[in-house]
Structure 1
């Protein structure tokens, strides 16, 4: 008959060998003393700290990134007290001074009376996964940034305009400060395209976009390509008179570049027509009311001969 004690010891040795041959790092903490009863030797190759240096839970806490420490400790203690198995991702300090991303998978062991007796678990090195996640997140951010950018001119696109206008509209409602829009259209752009070709037409749009963008000098001033040859400026905390002055500077800047436009009936050079409007929106007002008023003003500027500014009526 096989000696049961010897068999148990043999099984324990086999079990430990299996645990210590994996990349996962096994550990056990005695709940009453908060001391490490065991931690796998793999910890040294991962973090540089010897197994013997993991004496108590405080060593685990001290070797955690300061930004992760409070929430991880609070979370793990609360879950353990409740007897709930749990996981936590955090950055662990290596002996060389660098941080390694760790995932701790924790199982709560209870005694016959249902009281917490120990915590056992595994530490996993998830640094590569975190690097991949960060790359994917950066790619997502870049895609989101590009999705708000006009592909031709590099200024904001219509989607970005809608988002910015909504945000500034909400700010204007709360602060009771005026919000202005300047909408402009390149005069006789179809004729420009037909005469000079689409490549030159694209270059024209790029140049106009760059010129207008240079005028949006305040941090919250915003320029977008509204569609086709139309651009729009969002001017927070700007009254109608100041917006009109900005529009006039934009009109003059583009005319003074002296870009030839032989097919324009407004001037021998490239010009723009502009509509300007401002309002302090009430809580019941919608941004479309201001957009519509400014769009109608732009239409009036075209009817009046182009290369000029028209002010919107109060929406």
Structure 2
């Protein structure tokens, strides 16, 4: 008998010296048969305040409570060991992230007798996970962002263009595209230098991005001094108005360009195209056609808009 008492005392000391918090719930009564005293240090609630499973549920973040309780009950009824992460309410009103690891104990008849498990404080792990998610999102955004101008890059542009082309074809809706080219930009760079040239690109990109007026419009750097504006569900007349608005916005910038044959200030040439794509149509052929309109705008004196 003495050995049994010593053994029980040993295991009790072992359980209560760990950072994990051991507990046991009687399945029939749904009352705590035991919970480690470490719970008070972690959450601020004394061990004797954990009377029933209801105390456990009530001391859970409202956004987590329903799914965690329903999940744990269903798994326990099936006799399946399980674990769940949730935010546990502290006595001071704050929350800590907890991972509950649950083992289902059956009696000789095979019915659920009790639940035993450990609670682990995973708050620091969650903070690290949240930081990693945030960093991954930042990296994702950076991978789709042009490093110089801050607008979307060609990689993102190609992806969005493919999706909008497919959507337009499925929905039989018009798709319009505007390609912009800064007039005589090489001469601008040669005259002012690359630092001011880069600043010009940034200002033009920021200004042209104001052509995005709806949530599904999309603006990106196409390459070099060229940019593209994608206008889903936009007919030719509406696209022409957007192009004129963009031309006016660039003119209002009044960026000096003293050696441009087109204007004493920075201007852009624009190729505009609209299509309601059919199964036989090609996205590449459409973009080539818009690019040809841009070429015509440049050939006809620049600072022009050519629609097709």
Using the size of structure 2 for normalisation, the TM-score is 0.92
| Structure 1 position 179, deviation (Å) | 2.1
Counterpart of 1:98? 94
Taking the aligned partners of 2:278 and 2:77, their CA distance within structure 1 comes to 52
Aligned length: 308
Taking the aligned partners of 1:23 and 1:267, their CA distance within structure 2 comes to 74
User: Is residue 2:144 matched to residue 1:151?
Assistant: no
Over the aligned positions, Cα root-mean-square deviation in angstroms equals: 2.0
| Structure 1 position 298, deviation (Å) | 1.1
Match of 1:181, SS? strand
Structure 2: which 5+ runs fail to align? none
User: Is residue 2:189 matched to residue 1:196?
Assistant: no
- Spell out, residue by residue over 1:188-241, the C-alpha distance to the aligned partner (whole angstroms, 9 max, x if none): 222222222111211111111122123323333322111100011122332111
Counterpart of 1:54? 50
Counterpart of 1:250? 246
1:231 to 222, 227, 232: 227
Taking the aligned partners of 1:132 and 1:49, their CA distance within structure 2 comes to 26
Q: How does 1:126-205 map to 2 (within 5 A)?
A: 126-205=122-201
- Spell out, residue by residue over 1:117-170, the C-alpha distance to the aligned partner (whole angstroms, 9 max, x if none): 111110011111111111111121122222222111122211222333344344
Taking the aligned partners of 1:116 and 1:236, their CA distance within structure 2 comes to 58
1:28 to 24, 30, 37: 24
| Structure 1 position 256, deviation (Å) | 4.5
Shift in CA distance, 192/71, structure 1 to aligned 2, threshold 3 Å: same
| Structure 1 position 257, deviation (Å) | 3.6
Shift in CA distance, 173/66, structure 1 to aligned 2, threshold 3 Å: farther
| Structure 1 position 62, deviation (Å) | 1.4
User: Is residue 2:85 matched to residue 1:89?
Assistant: yes
- Spell out, residue by residue over 1:260-311, the C-alpha distance to the aligned partner (whole angstroms, 9 max, x if none): 3344333343221110011223466554343222112112222223221111
Taking the aligned partners of 1:238 and 1:53, their CA distance within structure 2 comes to 64
